[in-house]
Amino acid sequence: MSKNPVLSMDIGGTNCRIGIFKNKRIIRKKYYPTKKIKNFSKKVSGYLKKNSKYKIKKAGIGFAGPIIGNIAELTNADLKINRKKLEKQLNLKITIINDFHALGYGISLLKKKDLFEISKPKFKNDIKMVVGPGTGLGKAYIVHKLVFPGEGGQTLIGIEDIHDYALVDYLTKEFGKPVYYEDVLSGRGIINLYKHLAIKTSYKRNHKAGEKIKKKLLKSAEMVTKYSSKDELCDITLKEFTKYFARFTRDSALHLIPCRIYLSGGISPEIKKYIKKYFIKEFTKHRSYSDLLKKIGISVILNTDTGLLGAGFAAK
């Protein structure tokens, strides 16, 4: 971690967050819609000029996609950057890491107020996990302060009952095989669940919500904040979303048995009341390891700048 101010960037499929990281906190920040960025280096250069008083020499980038050599490409948006080329354009030393790698670092800088605790850990080890849906779905393990990110959202969705078969059949017809967890656990995944449940159910619906979804005008966050208390189908959709989120988290946790799990992403804070009420029951539903799963601590990350913190921390 650099002692001097550094440029910190958290680049996702929906938003590009840019800020100044100093003394383990973000002192300035600005958000841009990722899809509206036509020239990435020009956008960053403009931000640097407006903040020239900080005399930035280094930058850390958390990037929502695979990074191979010097090339980073977003999984859920059309943005590709070359680290070496960007260093020359901006005259900065740049460190690029996966966005969940950045989240793993950022967790160590969070305060108590940044977390919404669902359950307390009942054992201690040096393993933690962060997992979360947003534009996509990602996860990372933190082992002895080392972070190991992965593309967890691209794993195949698990089938446990007849309802899962029906969902996978619907998604296969819509998108083809195979069906990934990210097809359900993401912003677009919430809409996919809603459309699937709307086919053969008689849940009461809010006409405005249904029309907006049909016209592709309703964002997943809107469904949560505006309609979940008015529309039974929205409510059931979010319950189902929470169920699959718990299952994915459970299966991921069993790989390394972390003492703590952090639920991140743009969606988790919005549905924290659903997570509080329904997550643990599904998370601990396991034939062999239910008792062990009950001992794992789970918290929702409320601080939306955790990735920015981690990217700044990673700048070398």
State pLDDT tens for residues 152-169. Answer: 888 999 899 999 999 999
Q: What average pLDDT does this structure show over 17-28? A: 96
Q: For 156, which DSSP code?
A: B
Residue 86 pLDDT class (50, 70, 90 cuts): very high
Per the CB < 8 A criterion, the answer to whether 24 and 314 are in contact is no
150 pLDDT above the threshold of 90: no
b/e burial code for range 101-127 (CB count within 10 A of at least 16 → b): bbbbbbbebbeeebbbebbebeeeeeb
Q: Would you say 186 and 14 are in contact if contact means Cβ atoms under 8 Å apart?
A: no
- List, as own/partner pairs, every contact residues 81-88 make where C-beta atoms lie below 8 angstroms and the sequence separation is at least 24, other chains included: 81/40, 86/40, 86/41, 86/44
pLDDT tens figures, 241-284 = 999 999 999 999 999 999 999 999 989 999 999 999 999 999 99
Q: pLDDT band at 101, cuts 50/70/90?
A: very high
- Give 314's contacts (C-beta < 8 A, 6+ positions apart): 1, 60, 62, 95, 97, 101, 102, 105
Helix-helix angle 207-214:232-256, to 10 degrees: 60
The class (CATH top level) of 6-108+306-314 is alpha beta
Contacts of 73 (CB under 8 A, 6+ apart): 65, 66, 79, 80, 81
CB contact at 8 A, 30 and 71: no
Structure-model confidence comparison of residues 209 and 17, the more confident one: 17
Architecture of domain 153-295: 3-Layer(aba) Sandwich (3.40)
Mean pLDDT of 110-114: 97
**Whose CA is closest to 162, among 200, 192, 191?**
200
Q: Tens digits of per-residue pLDDT, 188-240? A: 899 899 889 988 767 767 667 767 766 665 666 666 667 788 788 888 999 99
> Each residue of 121-140: pLDDT tens digit?
999 999 999 999 988 899 99
Domain ranges within the chain, ordered by starting residue: 6-108+306-314, 153-295
Question: Of 173, 307, 194, whose CA–CA distance to 241 is shortest?
Answer: 194
**Distance set, CA 273 to CA 98, 238, 299 (Å):** 29, 10, 12
- Say which amino acid occupies 265: G
With CA atoms as reference, report the closest residue to 189 among 210, 219, 163, 161: 219
Contact 7, 58 (CB under 8 A): yes
Q: How far apart are the first and last CA of the chain?
A: 6
Query: Mean pLDDT throughout 95-121?
Result: 97
Average pLDDT of every residue of the chain: 92
**Among 191, 157, 182, 192, CA closest to 75:** 182
